[in-house]
């Protein structure tokens, strides 16, 4: 079977790595179309190198821009790439502009579309990701859900045909690469830090980075932590910090984006994680590390229902209070995200 995979952003590289491996093991031919949505070495190429993802068949080099500009350029460039290959099926992942552009280009060409990580809902229509995931779900022929909640969300919208509960491919990736990360990563020694002696923070969503007052509030909260905060900073966040002349407290150490293996080690050994990333919320859960989500809602409700993740928004006092709450030692940790074999299940179901 000939497959075109459309990816473009850091989380998609992680989600796709175990699927690409499963496709190769099953004897399928995959052509990876990289939109270029993430293009810095630390946000793109390093993931292909570390995770053994096949080199992209083509890089569209779209780069940054407004959501409308970026999506339209991707759509215009993805369509001829798909037409050139005439695949049996196109795979898209998650909820980025690359996801939506890949979905629209595919359905306009009447080619079968599969959405991996289908059914997520934050119910916050201010998030561009929410529009992307809803529209993609309603375009797709095959919808691969990571959790029962995602399956239920689709059923509530009348989507039941071609819907499958398979588990989470990011969980597959963590299980596949954690041992390698321990063997290969020297990030703790490079940064001069020890396990559980630091907090880890990430921030990239537009509604947190584009308003200087919001960004200032978040960095004020990090200052109140007092202890060391390691902050691998997304390029758009760094630009916003510089543009807004946001002061950085001495306990907050901004570092360049790190590769996947280094990030796994930083997550696993953090005292707690503060983030607005959906993927990092999950990875914190996988490693049983408390997470504070710098949002008012999450699509990964399993992590909050089980009390491993707390929604704190951007209020410094609320963040500080949550960090100092006593964590119950006997918190349940259910296997919400599958058995680590989501990728193999997806590959088997692609033949249906």
d(CA 9, CA 24): 22
SS3 53: coil
Note whether 233 and 266 are within 8 A (CB). no
Query: In sequence order, what are the residues at sequence separation of 6 or more whose Cβ sits closer than 8 angstroms to the Cβ of residue 178?
Result: 264, 268
- Give a three-class secondary structure readout of 214-277: HHHHHHHHHHHHCCCEEEECCHHHHHHHHHCCCCCCCCEEEECCCCHHHHHHHHHHCCCEEECC
Note whether 15 and 6 are within 8 A (CB). no
Token pair 């898209």: residue: 92
Note whether 92 and 112 are within 8 A (CB). no
Q: Which position among 34, 38, 115, 204 bears the catalytic label?
A: 204
Known catalytic residue at 204: yes
d(CA 311, CA 108): 39
SS3 73: helix
Q: Is the Cα dihedral 61, 243, 206, 279 positive or negative? A: positive
Residue numbers annotated as active site:
204
């Amino acid at each position: 079977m000939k497959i075109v995979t459309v990816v473009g952003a850091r989380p998609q590289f992680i989600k796709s790595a175990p699927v690409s491996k499963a496709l190769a093991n099953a004897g399928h031919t995959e052509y990876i179309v990289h939109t270029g949505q993430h293009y810095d070495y630390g946000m793109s190429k390093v993931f292909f190198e570390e995770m053994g993802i096949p080199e992209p068949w083509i890089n569209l080099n779209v780069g940054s821009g407004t959501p409308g500009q970026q999506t339209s350029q991707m759509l215009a460039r993805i369509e001829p790439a798909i037409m050139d290959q005439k695949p049996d099926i196109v795979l898209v992942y998650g909820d980025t502009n690359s996801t939506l552009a890949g979905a629209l280009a595919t359905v306009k060409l009447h080619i079968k579309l599969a959405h991996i990580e289908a059914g997520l809902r934050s119910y916050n229509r201010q998030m561009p990701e929410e529009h992307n995931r809803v529209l993609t779900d309603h375009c797709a022929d095959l919808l691969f859900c990571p959790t029962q909640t995602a399956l239920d969300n689709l059923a509530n919208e009348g989507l039941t045909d071609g819907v499958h509960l398979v588990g989470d491919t990011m969980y597959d990736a963590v299980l596949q690469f954690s041992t390698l990360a321990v063997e290969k990563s020297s990030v703790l020694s490079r940064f001069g830090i020890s396990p559980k002696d630091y907090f880890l923070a990430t921030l990239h969503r537009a509604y947190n980075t584009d308003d200087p007052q919001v960004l200032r509030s978040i960095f004020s909260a990090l200052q109140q932590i007092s202890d060391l905060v390691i902050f691998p900073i997304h390029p758009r966040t760094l630009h916003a910090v510089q543009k807004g002349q946001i002061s950085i407290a001495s306990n907050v150490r901004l570092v360049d984006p790190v590769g996947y293996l280094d990030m796994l080690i930083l997550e696993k050994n953090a005292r707690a994680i503060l983030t607005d990333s959906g993927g990092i919320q999950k990875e914190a859960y996988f490693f049983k590390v408390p997470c504070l989500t710098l949002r008012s809602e999450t699509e990964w409700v399993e992590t909050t229902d089980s009390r491993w993740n707390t929604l704190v928004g951007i209020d410094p006092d609320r963040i500080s209070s949550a960090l100092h709450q006593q964590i119950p030692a006997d918190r349940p940790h259910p296997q919400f995200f599958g058995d680590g074999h989501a990728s193999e299940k997806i590959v088997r179901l692609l033949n249906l």
